[in-house]
Amino acid sequence: MTVGLVSGILISFHKPRDMLQQAIAADRTPNCASAEMTHLNIFDTVVIGGGAAGLTAGVELGKAGLSVLILEARERLGGRILTIRGSKSEFPIELGAEFIHGVVPQVWHLLSEEHAEILEVEGDVWCADGSLRPCDFTDDVNRVLERMDDTDPDQSFADFLLSCCRQDSPVAKERALRYVVGFNAADPEQVGVHWLAKGLKEEQEVMGDRAFRSRNGYADLIKSLQSRLAASNVMVKTNATVTAINWRHGMVVVSTAGPNCSSSYQARKVVVTVPLSILKTEAGKEGAIEFGPPLPLEKRAALEKLEMGKVIRLVLRFRERFWDSIIPPGAPEQTLANMSFLLAEDDYFPTWWTTLPLREPQITGWAPFQCAERLSGKENAFVTQCGLQSLARILHLGLSDLEGLLEEVHFHDWQEDPFSRGAYSYGRVGADGAQELLATPLLATLYFAGEATASAGSNGTVHGAIASGKRVAGEILKS
């Protein structure tokens, strides 16, 4: 903990102490039966958020013998992991996290406990830029990205492209731009070169250029964490939206609202794992958390240096893999049967991918940044129609043909999800140290975890969220 944080928080203790006493007094009069048991004791730790970070923190703390309560606003656990099953097939449909980025023990270990089959993503990448043809522009993109230097003055990636890489073609720079926007769901006018450069280094350490997926989806990972929670007697309460955290050194009161009642819970420490955008949400909006006392200026400054990416995912399941028989004019010697990714210049869904190496008649559309802005808040039918039109246009097919083959549609608007309000975090220009500062505990009482607190390269990933949960549990146990 930095001196600035300590001094910044102690100045205003007189009012928060009064607020805390009022909250404790109110807590002695439970207004719903399910809360009564929580008034009999004080938890060692309350964890806010039932995503990968919160569940991991709960597991580690419970395993150490602490009394732990996890509060989750949704009716399900998993956070931005959202694996569902359709009505036509048991094959997993991922509406949140899907890929395992690199060889990361945090994820592989948990999945191995569930005997999950981990498969490496393979197949051909196809591009639709005038004609449909195989493409591999990894070298082009890497040449541009490797010119980023986190020792130079920081700047946005858009500005970086204007000033650098004169020896690289405009096509190579455009491909690098699309990659940064698509992979990070980020605004190129805001995402910082320092953040990108540090992330690139960390990705290389874990072979992040290789992608894997679990055959049964990320649901296996949540299942593994839930089993561990049960074994450690960790309490979990869903449908409990945290509205306020009143705290002082060594004592916290967490207030929640549910569909039928409101409750409050006392603890010695609290771990906040909600998404970055929730910490930045204005008071009075759904999902917002009021801190008493407010977070210190240093913590709020760190929040402003980080931003939430935007994305919408659309999963289309067809009666058959119709693309197996498509022979593109630009490559008459082969079909699209081995297509893994499909990249295009499209205003709605510029990226698509299949389920390879598994050959399911299912394809996912990815709408990042401005594409998500165009679609967010729209009706299901509108998003579906945009996706089908995009796919038909890219593959030179009739829209009615695709509609005739369509079996199921699933999509999730993460911007409209009140407990997410976006995809995952990225660093803005000048974000050096922001993630570390966001992760810094306050007075050994208020702790922070979640992918936004993970190091660059790990944030925005499931393994980064898990690592943050382990990190914060270690901090608490040491304290």
Percentage of the chain with pLDDT > 70?
91
Q: Which of 369, 343, 366, 351 minimizes the C-alpha distance to 186? A: 369
Q: How confident is the model at residue 305 (pLDDT cuts 50, 70, 90)?
A: very high
Q: Would you say 38 and 265 are in contact if contact means Cβ atoms under 8 Å apart?
A: yes
Place of tokens 């089959």: 117
How confident is the prediction for the chain on average, in pLDDT?
90
Phi, psi of 405 (to 5 degrees): -90, -15
Q: How confident is the model at residue 32 (pLDDT cuts 50, 70, 90)?
A: low
The stretches of 188-334 forming alpha helices (DSSP H) are 193-205, 219-231, 276-279, 297-304
When pLDDT is averaged across residues 235-251 and rounded to a whole number, the result is: 96
Q: Where are the domains of the chain?
A: 3-79+219-306+429-478, 122-209+311-413
Bond from prior residue into 357 cis (ω within 30 degrees of 0): yes
Q: Coil, strand, or helix at residue 262?
A: strand
Beta strands 124-128 and 339-344 are parallel
Give helix then strand counts, H and E, for the chain.
16, 22
Q: Coil, strand, or helix at residue 80?
A: coil
Cα separation, 11 vs 28, whole angstroms: 28
Highest-scoring range by mean pLDDT, 34-43, 73-82, 159-168: 73-82
Q: At residue 190, does pLDDT exceed 90?
A: yes
Q: Which of 28, 61, 442 minimizes the C-alpha distance to 235? A: 61
* pTM of the complete model beyond 0.85: yes
Cα separation, 375 vs 350, whole angstroms: 13
Cα separation, 182 vs 350, whole angstroms: 8
Q: At residue 67, does pLDDT exceed 90?
A: yes
Q: Which amino acid, residue 402?
A: L
DSSP assignment, residue 360? -
Q: Which tens digit of pLDDT belongs to each residue from 73-119?
A: 999 999 999 999 998 899 999 999 999 999 999 999 999 989 999 99
Beta strands 311-318 and 362-368 are antiparallel
Q: Which of 439, 362, 313 minimizes the C-alpha distance to 90? A: 362
Classified by CATH at the fold level, domain 122-209+311-413 comes out as: Polyamine Oxidase; Chain A, domain 2 (3.90.660)
Bridge partners, residue 88, by sequence:
none
Cα separation, 152 vs 197, whole angstroms: 11
What does CATH list as the number for 3-79+219-306+429-478? 3.50.50.60
Written as six digits, the tokens of 458 are 């790990």
Written as six digits, the tokens of 47 are 């964890």
Cα separation, 139 vs 132, whole angstroms: 20
Contacts of 345 (CB under 8 A, 6+ apart): 128, 129
Cα separation, 45 vs 443, whole angstroms: 14
Q: Which amino acid, residue 52?
A: A
Cα separation, 224 vs 194, whole angstroms: 35
Cα separation, 230 vs 236, whole angstroms: 9
Q: Would you say 316 and 383 are in contact if contact means Cβ atoms under 8 Å apart?
A: no
